[in-house]
Structure 1
């Protein structure tokens, strides 16, 4: 049995999901979805699923799976900035997910850019040094961009601070956050051993 650890907004995390944060594992849709949902509530920078055109920033986790079923082997981050009408792509594996990000951007540009052609830019990104941390890089890059946008009015990625050691530390911090939320009474359905 795989008990539920945390039900938070629209996210449901099971013990097996949270255990992915504890070791050298790829993160799944549930952990990345939870992180984006948590950041959306805390930082108010992520978009709600509706009314995209009214938002300044849109953050999208991109997976390299072209099928309708779950799967894929790599995550990257695509960010749309409404004021400049451009997509910025951050990939911890040197543009390996560029094709998938460009496909998403081309499908969304008419909705987000009021019919205007949007610019697509591959942005400098920290490089992962293993085969499993791409999901953590997506979460950490999104969080860093949101923090910079709050401080400076526009995001600028501090690439040099997102080191492999930092990513490992953040993996542990997200695991502790989930455990803390599971133990608190925040209107969530909770179950944590």
Structure 2
């Protein structure tokens, strides 16, 4: 079997925004998110996760795991805001953020600002204030591609760092099935949050994430969403 490739066929993102959301059923309102049928459908086996699916899972993890956690200030950016930062000029970046917080950026490889929900591969960028460095975790590649290094420069700017911060590339689990990159991003965050709660010094130490485990986690997120819907 060859190495996994960015999963363009399975991506629900590469279509204009107007063709689905206006007519789709709203399944769940959670936090400040509206979850649609296509978002939940993307949790089905080997499907490429939508922006909203990523935002839902990462927001839920933060709310449930870290609601009483005070050791660090933690911010998980929604993919939609990351896209705005990616495609804004540095002199028009919309926000300034505190460099003393942990920031989690689920980022994808969309290169076309005219396409809503574009792209075919998810990875995770973290700013770690304890290290004063970014940390890059990718289920396919070892080193950050160009779009990530460009984002690091912009993120460094909105944190008002003197220079773009260095990017560390710790060893992390890699996917063996196309379409699972978004699930790996969610599980990287899940592991890191649990290590924070346990007071571990090494935050970026991961267990293996098997295909079977990822399949079970897809079921978990579907069940979680439906249980929240039932109230």
* Higher helix proportion: 1
Q: How does 1:1-150 map to 2 (within 5 A)?
A: 2-42=24-64, 43-44=66-67, 46-47=74-75, 52-53=97-98, 55-68=100-113, 69=115, 70-95=117-142, 98-112=145-159, 114-150=161-197
Listed as ranges, the gaps of 5+ residues in structure 2 are 1-22, 68-72, 78-94
Query: Equivalents in 2 of 1:51, 1:39: separation in Å?
Result: 25
In structure 1, the residue matched to 2:206 is 159
Corresponding residue pairs, total: 184
Query: Equivalents in 1 of 2:228, 2:211: separation in Å?
Result: 26
In structure 1, the residue matched to 2:7 is none
TM-score, with normalisation over the residues of structure 1?
0.85
SS in 1 for 2:162: coil
TM-score, with normalisation over the residues of structure 2?
0.72
User: Cα offset for 1:36?
Assistant: 2.0
Listed as ranges, the gaps of 5+ residues in structure 1 are 185-193
SS in 2 for 1:13: strand
Query: Equivalents in 1 of 2:160, 2:204: separation in Å?
Result: 23
In structure 2, the residue matched to 1:191 is none
Q: Is the 8 A contact 2:35 2:53 kept in 1?
A: yes
- Aligned-residue Cα RMSD (Å) equals 2.2
User: Cα offset for 1:81?
Assistant: 0.6
Say if 2:203 is the partner of 1:181: no
SS in 2 for 1:107: helix
